[in-house]
Amino acid sequence: SAPPAMVRPPQVLLQQMIGYFRPPPGLELSVGFEYAAMSKPSLDTLSTMDDMESLSGESTHSEAMALVSEAKMHCLGMTTVKVRNIPVMYTQEMLVSECVNTGTFDFLFLPRSGNGQTNLTYAFINFVSEEHALAFKEQCHKKRLTQLVARKPLNVSFADVQGLRGNLMQLKKKKTRLMEARQCQPIIIKNGQHLTLQQAWDVCGKR
C-alpha cells in the first residue's frame, strides 16, 4: 500500500511564504521568524495556503488555520481598525468630525449601551484602503480626543474582523432591536451614498 502522505508542520509551510507578505507592525513577533519585505501577491498565487488548508491532525490543523487566516487577511489588506478608550458620551458624528476624513472610510460603528444613552468606549472603522487605515492608526494612536475629557488616550489596533462585508456580516449575526434606532446604526457609505444597515445587508446579499 502507498505510504501515508507527509504532513508538513505549519511553520515550515508558512516559511515557504516568506516574501509574500509584509505583516502590520507588531505582528512579526507572533509568527516566530522574520518576513521578507516584498509586495503582496494575488490570491491566485497562494497555492501554499491551499496546501496548509488541507493539513490533517486536530492540533496541527488548528494552528495552520490560524496562520492561514492571518496571512490571507493581510494579503487582502488590513483596512479595519478598532479604536478603544473613546469617552462614553461621544457620538459617531463627533468621532468622524474630529478624527476621520470624509472619503477615507466606508464603515464606522460605535456600539451603544443597552439603553442607547452612552457608547461602549470602542469603535470599529473600515477604511477604503490599507494606506488610509495605517495613516489613521499612526495619527490617532495615543491621541486624546478634544471634545470631551478622557481618562486614557486612544488605543488603535487592527481589528479581528476585516473589510466592509466582514463587518456587516458580523453585525447581522449580532442583530438586536437596539440597532433599529437611528443613533445606534453604524455609518455606512457606498459609492458616496449613506446606507441604512438593512440596505447594506441587501447589497451584500446580492454579491
204 forms beta bridges with none
- At residue 144, the 3 state secondary structure works out as coil
Question: Per-residue DSSP letters for 13-37?
Answer: HHHTTTTT--PPTT-HHHHTSPPP-
Amino acid at position 50, single letter: D
pTM: 0.63
CA 112 to the chain's CA centroid: 20
Tell me the pLDDT of the chain (207 aa) as tens digits. Answer: 555 555 555 554 445 544 444 555 554 444 433 333 334 444 443 444 444 444 444 455 655 555 555 555 555 589 999 999 999 999 999 999 999 888 899 999 999 887 778 999 999 999 999 999 999 999 999 999 989 888 899 999 999 999 999 999 998 887 666 566 677 889 999 888 999 888 998 887 665
- Walk across the sheet containing 105-109 and list its strands: 155-158, 80-84, 122-127, 105-109, 187-190, 193-195
> Cβ atoms within 10 A of the Cβ of 92, count?
20
DSSP letter, residue 174:
T
